[in-house]
Structure 1
Amino acid sequence: MEEEYDPTTDPQEKTLILSVLDSFRSYRRLAHLHGTHRRRQAFYSLPQAHWTLLSQPPFTLLSTFSQMDTLIDLNAELAEAIFIAGFKLFLAPTLDSEWVASIVPEKYAHDEMHIFSLVLDRLGAEASPNDVDKARSCLNQFYREWSADGVVERAKCFDPVLAALEDEFLARSHQGGGPAADRSQIKVLVPGVGLGRLVFDVCRAGFSVEGNEISYHMLMASALVLNETSKAAQFRIAPFALNGSNLVARDDQFRTFFVPDVHPATELAKEGVSRVPASERLSMSTGDFCVVYGRSDYAGVFDAVATVFFIDTAPNLIRYIEAVRNCLRPGGMWINLGPLLWHPPPRRENDADEDEEERKRRVERDAGIGDPGSVELTNEEVVALVQHFGFDMEKQEHGTIETGYISNSRSMLQNSYWPSFWVARRK
């Protein structure tokens, strides 16, 4: 493979990494500001007789705000743990240790949170509003991927993928009537891996798996849960604490959940269904899926590609299809499950002022999901496009799976997806 790209050598990427780190570091402060301080301000803007009434039982809204503050602090413990893990992963290796020592007071010499925070301040880190939103969403996603209650959503989305991989293994095991091969011989790629649960589950099932992710929020959070946690139930989160709408009872807002539901390192160290240790079967890559896996050195590397709630992140789906086709061996399978919630890229304000050479340079620089242009396709059109690029559809289902996405099962508002599920074989 090509030498791994170091994002901190790119000034724009380093600025982004600093913004993401600051979004986790500042979660506690901003959540208190937007979550309770402003609610209190609005509450006391009511006529005095009204807020006095609502301060008393059975309403006790002032107590509600205090409980929200307590739960924000719970969430912040996870956010700050992600900040520390992300700092160690992406920023610490690039820093001069003597410079760090010169700016850290001796009383903080053994306090990682203070040390890393001082460094971030010196480097001028400032989280963008978009990164702040992503950090909050990332914390909530722990409920879906790493809580015991999240198994309801995980089972709907991950079990069909694991079943398809199991069917593939059994089919290969019986080819030629020989002994069953080891599951590790089936190499699986999971793009858009998020917090890493599907990669973990595929590895635990005995297969070799590589996860790919472009989001620094997700990369930092998955690094924490997969590599840095010391036990199951290490953190407690309240994913619905800041949402005051569509509630039947206040307790529904304040439910808490322990994460992770299992300790990944302990689980993967157990003797499993593969003769190959899990440490040799699981890896992660950073970067744009199209750029990384469209390269010639990845041609025909994988036996299966599993995309879950992923393909609709593509402005131009053809780029994804080309990358999948490139990295799959002939006869390899593409397992897909997800909706089609397309996200067109933002309008480029300066497009009209670009000359042809500037446009060419931008297109080359943005290769991957940053390419200009986008298209929104129906499920039928997606299937036709996949077939056009040399895949045979072996299985197609629609309307058979219903799932939420980080859903509060006790909310008055229930959003459901009916995702498409298909298995395609590369010719």
Structure 2
Amino acid sequence: MRFLQPATWLVAGLACGAIAESEADVGRAVDEKVGNAIKDGVGEDKILASMPVHSLVEIHEVTVTLEDIPQKPSPRHEQEKKNLLKRMSKSHGKWDTNHPRSRLLDALFGYSRYKPRHMAELDRWRGLYKHVSKAQKKVLENTIGYSQKFETAEQLLDFNQALCDEIVDTALEYYGISHQEFAGHSKAKDEAKQLADRVSVSQALKHYVRDWSTSGRSERDDAFPCILGTLQTLYPERSTDVKVLLPGAGIGRLGHEVAALGGFGVTVNEWSMFMNLAYRFLEAHPGVGGKALHPFVDSWSHHATTADMFRGVSFPDVPVNASSVLLVEGDFVSAFKAEKGLYDSVVTHFFIDTARNVMSYFDTIHALLKTGGYWVNFGPLLWGTGPFVQLSLDEIVAIAKSMGFEFVDVWEECGEVTIPGEKVRGKRAVYGFNDKALTRNSYEAQCWVARKVR
């Protein structure tokens, strides 16, 4: 493999061992560290994962060369970036907290304060530990070295912060934001005592696991085969690009899987700047296994072992060909107003229930599809906070039919028929990020294919 310039990295063994090509390699590296610790005389009566990081992790300075060269942007990518930077200009539209540049700066602020925001919670846990009696602490310390978990967690937060700093640097360059402007925004936030968004950053980072790691494969396999198989069935002949739009795409793996089928011109859309920054980082660093994080250090519940909680995950698990997929940032309802009747298919994956007004989503899907085009849906009906409308499945079917959609047969891979007499199927789908967790968050995701007939 090659790199434009050799890169010298400080690599944590708990995260990568060496530069791992998948988190399977990361896991093996952890096991080897633990095994070596036992051989070196660490008492077997201690939980090794809760010991100090230096006893589990060797820090290596490794010079590596990686195939981490971003694809040259296509003309449509270059044009969309020009459009994006125009929308990002302060002079474009009303300047307020909903302006895309303001939301971008807020997301940058969130990533830059990843560790401080999580340290506040870690320090709270440290404080709560002080309420444990001396006798109980003696058991905890002698048996599992409990207090060392705090030290280990803090060092892994440092590791994650380094990744977040890379994401920020990549975004500043991509969006043309000066360090001075970003520093001014951060200072204003601090002076106003406005905290950085901890949850959105954490969720975006965990999407690296779900979308772009081997650990996330089982969750992807709950949904992707149904969607990909459906598209291949609908469009068996693809001599010219079939135009597909995927709104609410997160950090884009499904769009890339559609593009990999060949013959599809794929556009993805995402409103969250936290997700978009994570995706732009992938575009800039497409090499397999080139990056890693510790995604579960921020939550201490539902872990079988402390090693699971502290484990590192590398990403991406496959090369990221950014030139095969176009990301259009912004609100789905307004971002595509000039593209009515342009798309052969709109794929909504874990998306429609995120709407404040789901009727606007339906109107937009209908408007963007060509006559004869297909709406492919896979996802739950978990309505969010303050939705204008909350619909049951049978109501959605009735409304879609009234708008000019005709439901067609759905591939059996997509589950069992949900409503007798209707062409909608339901399939269990996990959405939880952590394949080793002692809990499972799953849905009976609903899949349908609806053809626009008028």
For normalisation by structure 2, the TM-score amounts to 0.72
**Does residue 332 of the first structure (1) align with residue 417 of the second (2)?**
no
CA contact (8 A) 2:216 2:434 kept: no
Map of 1:7 onto structure 2: 88
SS at match of 1:307: strand
Equivalences for residues 246-395 of structure 1 within 5 A: 246-265=302-321, 279=323, 281-293=324-336, 295=337, 297-345=338-386, 374-395=388-409
CA contact (8 A) 1:212 1:286 kept: yes
- Distance in 1 (CA, whole Å) between partners of 2:354 and 2:314 is 29
Map of 2:442 onto structure 1: 416
Map of 1:107 onto structure 2: none
**Does residue 202 of the first structure (1) align with residue 258 of the second (2)?**
yes
Q: What CA deviation, in whole Å up to 9, does each residue of 1:383-405 have, x standing for no partner? A: 21111111010135446522211
Aligned-residue offset at 1:33: 2.7
Map of 1:26 onto structure 2: 113
CA contact (8 A) 1:8 1:90 kept: no
Q: Against the structure 1 CA distance between its residues 400 and 344, is the aligned structure 2 distance closer, same or farther, given a 3 Å change threshold?
A: closer
CA contact (8 A) 2:249 2:255 kept: yes
Q: What CA deviation, in whole Å up to 9, does each residue of 1:61-120 have, x standing for no partner? A: 11222222232223223222222222223352xx5xxxx6xx7xxxxxxxxxxxx86465
CA contact (8 A) 2:206 2:433 kept: no
More displaced 10-residue stretch of structure 1: 59-68 or 211-220: 59-68
Equivalences for residues 208-247 of structure 1 within 5 A: 208-225=265-282, 227-247=283-303
CA contact (8 A) 1:304 1:334 kept: yes
Aligned-residue offset at 1:249: 2.4
- Distance in 2 (CA, whole Å) between partners of 1:220 and 1:67 is 27
- Distance in 2 (CA, whole Å) between partners of 1:311 and 1:130 is 27
CA contact (8 A) 1:308 1:337 kept: yes
Which structure has the highest strand share of the two?
Answer: 2
Which of 410, 413, 431 pairs up with 1:405? 431
- Distance in 1 (CA, whole Å) between partners of 2:281 and 2:252 is 10
Equivalences for residues 159-198 of structure 1 within 5 A: 159-170=225-236, 173=237, 181-182=238-239, 184-198=240-254
Amino acid at match of 1:318: M
Identity %: 27
SS at match of 1:61: coil
Map of 2:139 onto structure 1: 53
SS at match of 2:444: coil
Q: Against the structure 1 CA distance between its residues 321 and 130, is the aligned structure 2 distance closer, same or farther, given a 3 Å change threshold?
A: farther
For normalisation by structure 1, the TM-score amounts to 0.76
CA contact (8 A) 2:117 2:196 kept: no
Q: What CA deviation, in whole Å up to 9, does each residue of 1:8-39 have, x standing for no partner? A: 424322333222111000102222232x3222
- Distance in 1 (CA, whole Å) between partners of 2:204 and 2:438 is 23
- Distance in 2 (CA, whole Å) between partners of 1:145 and 1:127 is 34
Q: Against the structure 1 CA distance between its residues 157 and 32, is the aligned structure 2 distance closer, same or farther, given a 3 Å change threshold?
A: same
Greater relative contact order (Cα 8 A, min sep 6): structure 1 or 2?
2
Structure 2 runs not aligned, ≥5 long = 1-78, 411-416, 419-424
SS at match of 1:402: strand
SS at match of 1:341: coil
SS at match of 1:69: helix
SS at match of 2:373: strand
- Distance in 1 (CA, whole Å) between partners of 2:193 and 2:256 is 30
- Distance in 2 (CA, whole Å) between partners of 1:89 and 1:127 is 28
Q: CA RMSD in A?
A: 2.5
Map of 1:156 onto structure 2: 222
Amino acid at match of 1:6: R
Which of 74, 80, 83 pairs up with 2:159? 74
CA contact (8 A) 2:251 2:276 kept: yes
Aligned-residue offset at 1:230: 4.8
